[in-house]
């Protein structure tokens, strides 16, 4: 029977259950390209310090490229004993080029190797996700531009508040994604710190040039403490936190659209492409896409909370618990990427006006303010006008001038200017307001 890569000091066999429990290849094979890339750079660094001859280096790097190609072509044959992507690649390398393959791991540990692979892999994913966030931003901004004439009530406490432009609501969500984009970009330099050359924990005894390694692998900097280098997973936590916050924003936007698509609101109609029907109620068109976006946010938060729990009691440097970084990270990357793409696609077809005159009650109070009366008084007057209209079961603008004058003598003929949604919206032209400006 074949020997495990670390089997020298062992006489007993691994329990089959333990073997399966320990094995991470089924999920960490996603990092096959990063693992090969890291190994090629490491082989080159070994030549620079005289561990490998140039000829040996060429054999090793060619072998690694062949292993990489097998993965790419989908023909890599995992073996029962391959514990993880690192042992699988090294095993295959030695099959292809013989015992020389055994020189590659000189001075390296899977501890600095796996941390390097994870960072390389994530850097690549973050670039994609950055593009998706930008895509979503473009869709929202274009939509806001096209539909800026539409007015609707803006809500606080889900109660009608003041008239707003539909574009203003859309752009309020875009603001969140704009800062998500900024935050994502700020993570990059902290992901881009090279652990390779940290060894198992104490450092590399063959004086490999870590600046060279960083350059080869396009890392922005080198981990300046080897124990930290092998034990740090904060870059993963930060990404999981970023994912949680971004999904929270997606979820809140989804919730707006879910509410607005109900018959009770009837503001928007969801496109068929992102809705589904009911197996029993023929009339239904359900906002499943939006509900999944809202639902996924819980699971993404769970990935973050779960992994922080894994980290919190760990002693310094590498502990096998850290292998638990992969599934939450991979799951969050997959689901955030998919969610951003779905959120980009979902669109609402129709937008109806649902404005009632009571949302102009603030403007009514402001009308008297412009005549010199303190706002605290005008607020009260306007509230009484609302109550009067309510008792008469009429709209605010259906009260007569005499009615208004009975509440305050400063009301005049120009009162009708208040009852204009467009004018109300356009008055909010201070920076950040809902006017077109
Ligand atoms: N599969 C391991 C992981 O994902 C690789 C590192 C293993 N190192 C070790 N000393 N057991 O974390």
pLDDT at 334 over 90: yes
Mean pLDDT of 341-360: 83
In this structure, is the dihedral angle defined by the CA atoms of residues 166, 168, 169 and 175, taken in order, positive or negative?
Answer: positive
pLDDT in tens, 57-98: 999 999 999 999 999 999 999 999 999 999 999 999 999 999
Given pLDDT bands bounded at 50, 70 and 90, which one contains residue 389? very high
* DSSP-derived 3-state class of residue 301: helix
Q: Which pLDDT score, from 0 to 100, does residue 382 have?
A: 97
310 lines ligand 1 (CB under 6 A): no
pLDDT at 127: 97
What's the CA-to-centroid distance between 99 and ligand 1, angstroms? 23
Which member of 138, 278, 316, 380 is catalytic?
Answer: 278
> Using CB atoms within 10 A of its CB, is residue 242 exposed (0-12), middle (13-18) or buried (19+)?
buried
Domains 7-103 and 110-148+165-345 share a fold: no
Whether 122 contacts 191, CB under 8 Å:
yes
Beta bridge partners of 149: none
Mutate to test the pocket of ligand 1, among 18, 114, 201 (most ligand atoms within 8 A of CB): 114
Report pLDDT for 231: 98
Q: Where are the domains of the chain?
A: 7-103, 110-148+165-345, 357-427
- pLDDT at residue 397 above 80? yes
Model ipTM value: 0.96
For residue 2, name the pLDDT band (cuts at 50, 70, 90).
Answer: low
Question: What top-level class would CATH report for the domain 110-148+165-345?
Answer: mainly alpha
The mean pLDDT of 232-260, rounded to a whole number, is 97
> Residue 160 in 3-state DSSP?
strand
91 has which bridge partners? none
| Residue 323 Cβ < 6 Å to ligand 1 | yes
- Mean pLDDT in residue range 215-231: 98
Q: How confident is the model at residue 284 (pLDDT cuts 50, 70, 90)?
A: confident
> Is-catalytic flag, 243?
no
Q: Report the top-level CATH class of 357-427.
A: mainly alpha
Q: Name the residue at shortest CA distance from atom 3 of ligand 1.
A: 323
Q: Which residue has the tokens 């992507």?
A: 85
pLDDT value for 269: 87
The structural architecture, per CATH, of the domain 7-103 is Orthogonal Bundle (1.10)
Concerning whether 278 is annotated as a catalytic residue, the answer is yes
pLDDT score, position 8: 85
């Amino acid at each position: 029977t074949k020997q495990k890569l670390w089997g020298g000091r062992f006489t007993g066999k691994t329990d089959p259950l333990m073997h399966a429990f320990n094995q991470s290849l089924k999920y960490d094979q996603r990092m096959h390209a990063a693992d090969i890339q890291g190994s090629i750079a490491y082989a080159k660094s070994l030549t620079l310090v005289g561990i490998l001859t140039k000829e040996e280096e060429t054999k090793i790097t060619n072998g690694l490229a062949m292993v990489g190609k097998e993965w790419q072509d989908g023909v890599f044959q995992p073996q029962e004993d391959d514990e993880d992507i690192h042992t699988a690649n090294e095993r295959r390398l030695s099959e292809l080029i013989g015992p020389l393959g055994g020189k590659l791991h000189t001075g390296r540990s899977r501890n600095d190797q796996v941390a390097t692979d994870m960072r390389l892999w994530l850097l690549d994913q973050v670039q994609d996700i950055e593009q998706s966030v930008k895509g979503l931003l473009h869709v929202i901004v274009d939509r806001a531009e096209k539909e800026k004439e539409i007015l609707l009530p803006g809500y606080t406490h889900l109660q009608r508040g003041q008239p707003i432009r539909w574009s203003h609501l859309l752009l309020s969500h875009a603001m969140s994604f704009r800062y998500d984009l900024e935050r994502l970009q700020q993570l990059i330099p902290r992901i881009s710190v090279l652990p390779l050359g940290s060894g198992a924990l104490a450092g590399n005894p063959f004086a490999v040039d870590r600046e060279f390694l960083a350059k080869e692998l396009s890392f922005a900097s080198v981990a300046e403490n080897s124990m930290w280098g092998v034990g740090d997973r904060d870059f993963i936590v930060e990404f999981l936190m970023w994912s949680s916050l971004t999904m929270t924003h997606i979820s809140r936007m989804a919730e707006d659209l879910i509410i607005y698509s109900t018959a009770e609101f009837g503001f928007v109609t969801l496109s068929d492409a992102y809705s589904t029907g009911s197996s029993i109620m023929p009339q239904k068109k359900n906002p499943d896409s939006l509900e999944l976006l809202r639902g996924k946010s819980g699971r993404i938060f769970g990935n973050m909370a779960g992994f922080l729990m894994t980290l919190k009691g760990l002693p310094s440097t590498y502990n096998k618990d850290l292998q638990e970084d992969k599934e939450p990270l991979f799951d969050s990357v997959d689901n955030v990427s998919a969610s951003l793409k779905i959120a980009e696609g979902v669109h609402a077809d129709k937008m109806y006006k649902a404005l009632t005159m009571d949302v102009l009650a603030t403007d009514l109070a402001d009308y008297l303010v412009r005549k010199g009366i303190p706002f605290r008084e005008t607020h009260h007057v306007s509230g009484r006008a609302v109550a009067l209209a309510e008792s008469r079961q009429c709209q605010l603008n259906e009260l007569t001038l005499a009615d208004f004058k009975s509440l305050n003598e400063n009301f005049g003929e120009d009162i009708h200017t208040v009852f204009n949604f467009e004018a109300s919206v356009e008055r909010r032209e201070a920076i950040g307001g809902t006017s077109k400006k």
